[in-house]
Structures are given as C-alpha cells and as structure tokens.
Amino acid sequence: MKFNILSILFILTFVACSTKSTLPPLKPDVITETTVNDTDDPAIWVNPQDASKSIVFGTDKETNGGIYAFDLDGKIIKDKSILDIQRPNNVDVEYGLKLNDSTFVDILAFTEREKQQIRVFSVPDMTPLDGGGFPVFEDANTFDEKLPMGISLYKSPVDSTMYAVVGRKTGPSDGYLYQYALEATNGSVKTRLARKFGKFSGQKEIEAIAVDDELGYIYYSDEGVCIRKYYAEPSKGNEELSCFGGQLFLEDIEGIAIAKYPNGEGYLIVSNQQLGEFNIFSRKDNSFVKAVNLTTLETDGCEVVTVPLNKNFPKGLFVSMNDERNFYYHDLSRFLEIPE
C-alpha cells in the first residue's frame, strides 16, 4: 500500500490527536520563568517563618544544568539557584537534618548524573554539606547502572535518621534502588549504604520516587509497568507491597507527588506523561480516584504541599514540570477534594 504526503500527515495528526487528553483543561495559576535547557523535576521548601516566602526548586537537566529556585510568582531567585551542575535529574527537600547536638537544618538533595553522585545543600542558605558530592552505585556492573536519576528523602519517625533513596538509568531485576543514610558528625555529613531493594521490569527505566514519611511507604514508577510500593523503614524488609495502576497509563508512568492530610487521608498524584494528564489515587488504599488535565506537556516530575502558602495558594500548591523549559503551579483546591 502506498501513501502520499497528505495521507502520512493525516495519519500523524490522527495519532497525535488520539493521544491528547479529552478531559476539561485546568490552566495553571502561575507559569514560571524558563530555564536554559530542559526542566525535569520540582521540589517545594515551605518557609517555616513565612510560608509566602517558600521556594520552588526545579532541575534543569543538561551538562551545563542547575537547580533553579523560584518564588511563588514563578520568578527565578538567582541567589538561591545552584548552577553549573552536570546533568541534575531529580530533586527533593526534607526538614531537620541533625548536624550536631544543637543544630538542625533543612536540606535539598539532587542527583548529578554525569558525576555519578548525589549532592546535598542546606536550605535556604544553599550551603553545600557534601564536600562536593557523595558517590552512588559504586559496586554497579555497567556504566549505565552507575548513572543516578531519581531521588527522594525520607526521615524516619522511628529514630529520625534521614535517608536518600536513589534510582538510576538501568539496573538489576531486584535491588534496583539504593537507600543511603545521611549521617552527620560535628557538622560533617557522610553517607552510609543502608540497603538495596526494589524490583525492576527491565522494560524502560525508574526515575520518579516519592516517600510518604508519616505512613512509612516508598513509591516509585516502573515506567511501562506499574507503581511499586515498599516499606520505607529498612528494618521492615524488602518485600514488595503492591504493584498497581499500570493499566491506567497510556505509556510512561512518571512523576509522583503525595498530598498528605491527617489520619492517613490524602492522594498520590502521578503523571500520565504522554496523555498529558495526572492520575490520582487514594493515599489510604491506593485505589484510583480520578484523572485531571492540568494542560502540561510531557510531564516528568511533580510535587505538592498541602499547607496554605499565600492568597493564590490558600489550600496548598501543586507544581509540575512542563516541556517548555518551565514549571506550572496549580492551586491544589482546584482539582482535589480537600479533607475537612
């Protein structure tokens, strides 16, 4: 069968339209300024003194990349941004790392893929705490298995140990993720490998990781298969608790954000990348709730906080990567039912 140019263009247009969301569009409340290269993953630091001065961090994924800091109006905060990072991939924040008996700091951690390491900085002063970086996957068998991608931080409610859970470009069918304890002595931070865990289908890759500190679960996207769930506390073992949601995604399962409310209420918000939607699951039992169209293109990473920030985000903020070198901000109450 022969096709002319018009036929080919018609087919391509049909395919493109058939994979476009048909849900009502919810345009962003704020679109950030653009980065230089390629946005990928956000994290949100809530300022404990003044929530209206909270910071959204976002990775710019290239050899001359960086971690860009944005205010709640989407403007770049130059003196809080970390530039000249060699392909930063994913980023996360956590609160209250104990540096010594009297000093606690909030931290930002991200993967630096081309240096096969993770970086750790204090927030909001943006002071490096890592001596230039912590190597990861040092015992991996191939080069691609050494390339870190996803990262999520976990602070144990058992003993307050802080961990970095790190994923990579590719890896074995079991033990794909490494969990590193961040340990500080007299203000100096070091890492200790706490465990290797996590299944991998081998189909695509694992990038998105999210941790529910309060309920004690780690979720990650085995991109072409499902959302996998494990215990976050290493002492609880490496048994997979669930592999769910795969049939609800067009192709890649990407970024995961956890909207947390009291008594275990809340939601998992997961990027259905090629369809341009987000699938929302119950935080309690991981059942499917609904899908929403937030008008982003090819979303990789996303993040959410459920506390009031300012007049534009009185019920919380959802941030998602958009494939135009920027990030979208949505008022959380526009698409979620907020528990009383």
**Is 13 part of a structural domain of the chain?**
no
Q: Which residues are within 8 A (CB) of 247 and not within 5 positions of it... i.e. 6 or more apart?
A: none
Q: Does 164 have pLDDT greater than 50?
A: yes
**Is 189 part of a structural domain of the chain?**
yes
* Each residue's pLDDT tens digit, 260-309: 999 999 999 999 999 999 999 999 999 999 999 999 999 999 999 999 99
What domain range includes position 269?
21-334
The total number of structural domains that make up the chain: 1
**Is 8 part of a structural domain of the chain?**
no
Write down the pLDDT at residue 187: 78
Averaged confidence pLDDT in the chain:
94
Q: Does 99 have pLDDT greater than 70?
A: yes
**Is 199 part of a structural domain of the chain?**
yes
The CA-atom distances, in angstroms, between 335 and each of 23, 190, 253, 280 are 12, 41, 20, 10
**Is 86 part of a structural domain of the chain?**
yes
Q: What tokens were used for 124?
A: 């909001």
**Is 6 part of a structural domain of the chain?**
no
**Alpha-carbon Rg of the chain, whole angstroms?**
20
Measured in residues, the chain has a length of 340
Write down the pLDDT at residue 340: 77
Reduced to 3 states (helix: H, G, I; strand: E, B; else coil), residue 271 is strand
Q: Does 65 have pLDDT greater than 90?
A: yes
For residue 125, the tally of other CB atoms under 10 A from its CB is 9
* Each residue's pLDDT tens digit, 117-126: 999 999 999 9
**Is 281 part of a structural domain of the chain?**
yes
- The domain that holds 39 is classified in CATH as 2.120.10.30
* Each residue's pLDDT tens digit, 210-249: 999 999 999 999 999 999 999 999 999 999 999 999 999 9
Write down the pLDDT at residue 101: 84
Q: What is the pTM of this model?
A: 0.94
Write down the pLDDT at residue 106: 98
Alpha-carbon span 189 to 128, nearest angstrom:
10
**Is 133 part of a structural domain of the chain?**
yes
